[in-house]
């Protein structure tokens, strides 16, 4: 397996020490399966992906034996079907879901599995704030009073969102727009790391959040909504203004995810964009200091920093200046000294300088240096 020290270099060429992961985006195909570390062998799960075996394998690889809380952003199969795999041999404290039981069969499935395992199921409350270990978060969506946060059958003919809302996992989907959105802060030794989790929300919800929850949107790390679908409000991604964007998406999915334009927008102003279909599992570490780079590592790649808007015929992956595997990359030697026995990936972290992001200045084009 390839592994290289890569540093987005600006002034200080010394690589940071590898940090333990705080946020993991599993490679489970088309779907979302996320973990937020809360202690040794312990993590909050946010969605479980489409496949129990893949969910179980990812949790096992991350060394997770205890899950105090599972948050299911909405009831589509690509977010909930992996639940039995997460429960396999692990202690799970509670499940928390969106307020909208849509599609009803998905909600019933979660209730059935939870009941069989004796796990209590609750719902998030609008604007709920919680703290669990190093994590604290606020629920930005759903907002109970809003028509978009009602089940499809209670919305009116246009689905309440002005479009042709559907039940399925494609675009303009009612359940997508019932997704839990969480503004998380991870307490680290060197200050807070902000992560925005967005489920599969589409443009209408993004615009509501922009209008009435804007102060909570800026984040260091963004889980890009809806597997990078084309249905994004550029102003939403701009408001989040992440250093790192992660798109959880399956190769060859039938929905055309991610959209090349969304890949570009997710890299707005120099953010690094990682995709689980191309980069594999993505791990985010804790920065080494208040303005230190955000450590990122992925199984198979290091993402891209998009530098040019895609043309209609262009495909997002070829744009950008930094995804060449042949440039600045060296494989590790045979000693295997940097392999992580638990993860099977190298300790190499791509580090991204948070200080380049938050003050609105133009960031340097990615400059990559390699180390062994």
Provide the binding-site residues for Zn ion, judged by CB under 5 A. Answer: 78, 200
Measured from the CB atom, the residue of 258 and 260 that comes closer to Zn ion is 258
Q: How far is the CB of 340 from Zn ion (least distance, A)?
A: 29
Query: Closer CB to Zn ion, residue 42 or residue 233?
Result: 233
Nearest distance, CB of residue 293 and Zn ion, angstroms: 30
Q: Residue 217 is encoded by which pair of tokens?
A: 């949107």
Min separation Cβ 33 and Zn ion, Å: 11
Task: Spell 138-155 as b/e; 16+ CB within 10 A means b.
Answer: bbbbbbeebebbbbbeeb
Q: How far is CA 187 from CA 33, 127, 133, 137, in A?
A: 22, 20, 9, 11
Residues 245 and 271: beta-carbon distance below 8 Å: yes
Q: Report the nearest approach of Zn ion to the CB of residue 78 (Å).
A: 4
Q: Which residue, 31 or 285, is less far from Zn ion as judged by CB? A: 31
d(Cα 9, Cα 17) in Å, to the nearest integer?
15
Comparing CB distances to Zn ion, the nearer of 78 and 81 is 78
Tokens of 231: 């249905």
For the CB of residue 323, give the shortest distance to Zn ion in the complex, in Å: 25
The least distance separating Zn ion from the CB of residue 302, rounded to whole angstroms, comes to 25
Nearer to Zn ion, 118 or 254 (CB): 254
Kindly state the smallest distance separating residue 250's Cβ from Zn ion, in Å: 10
DSSP 8-class letter at 209? H
Residues whose CB is less than 8 angstroms from the CB of residue 324 and which lie 6 or more positions away in sequence, other chains included: none
Residue 266 Cα distances to 139, 185, 239, 247, 274, angstroms: 22, 20, 11, 9, 10
Tokens of 296: 């990122």
Nearer to Zn ion, 6 or 197 (CB): 197
CB of 169 to Zn ion, least distance (A): 5
167 versus 200: smaller Cβ distance to Zn ion: 200
Contact 199, 225 (CB under 8 A): yes
Residue 171 vs 302, nearer CB to Zn ion: 171
Residue closer to Zn ion by CB (options 17, 251) is: 251
The minimum distance between CB 259 and Zn ion, in angstroms, equals 14
Strand partners, 33: 48
What DSSP string runs through 67-118?
A: ES-EEE----HHHHTTHHHHHTT-EE--EEE-S---SHHHHHHHHHHHHHHT
Q: Measured between alpha carbons, how far is 341 from 168 in angstroms, rounded to an integer?
A: 40
Q: What distance in Å separates the CA atoms of residue 235 and residue 184, rounded to the nearest whole number? A: 20
* C-alpha to C-alpha distances, 287 to 15, 187, 294, 350, nearest whole angstrom: 12, 11, 5, 11
């Amino acid at each position: 397996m390839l592994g290289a020290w890569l540093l987005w270099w600006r002034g200080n060429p010394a690589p940071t020490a590898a940090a333990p992961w705080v946020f993991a985006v599993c490679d489970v195909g088309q779907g979302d399966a996320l973990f937020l570390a809360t202690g040794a062998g312990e993590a909050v799960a946010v969605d479980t992906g489409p496949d129990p075996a893949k969910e179980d394998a990812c949790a096992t690889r991350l060394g997770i034996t205890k899950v105090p809380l599972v948050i299911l952003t909405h009831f589509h199969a690509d977010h909930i079907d992996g639940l039995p795999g997460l429960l396999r041999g692990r202690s799970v404290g509670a499940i928390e879901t969106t307020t909208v039981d849509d599609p009803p069969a998905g909600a019933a499935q979660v209730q059935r599995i939870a009941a069989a395992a004796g796990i209590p199921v609750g719902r998030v409350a609008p604007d709920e704030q919680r703290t669990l270990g190093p994590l604290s978060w606020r629920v930005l969506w759903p907002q109970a009073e809003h028509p978009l946060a009602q089940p499809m059958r209670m919305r009116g003919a246009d689905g309440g969102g002005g479009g042709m809302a559907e039940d399925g996992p494609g675009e303009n989907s009612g359940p997508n727009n019932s997704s839990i959105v969480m503004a998380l802060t991870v307490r680290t030794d060197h200050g807070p790391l902000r992560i925005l989790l967005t489920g599969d929300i589409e443009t209408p919800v993004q615009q509501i959040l922009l209008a009435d929850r804007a102060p909570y949107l800026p984040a260091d790390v963004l889980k890009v909504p809806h597997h990078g679908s084309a249905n994004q409000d550029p102003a939403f991604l701009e408001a989040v203004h992440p250093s790192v964007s992660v798109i959880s998406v399956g190769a060859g999915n039938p929905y055309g995810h991610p959209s090349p334009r969304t890949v570009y927008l997710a890299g707005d102003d120099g953010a690094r964009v990682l995709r689980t279909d191309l980069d594999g599992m993505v791990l985010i570490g804790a920065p080494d200091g208040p303005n230190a780079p955000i450590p990122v590592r992925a199984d198979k790649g290091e993402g891209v920093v998009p530098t040019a808007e895609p043309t209609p015929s262009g495909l997002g992956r070829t744009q950008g200046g930094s995804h060449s595997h042949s440039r600045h990359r060296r494989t590790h030697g045979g000693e295997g000294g940097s392999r992580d026995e638990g993860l099977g990936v190298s300790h190499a972290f791509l580090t991204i300088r948070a200080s380049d992001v938050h003050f609105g200045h133009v960031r340097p084009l990615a400059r990559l240096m390699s180390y062994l």
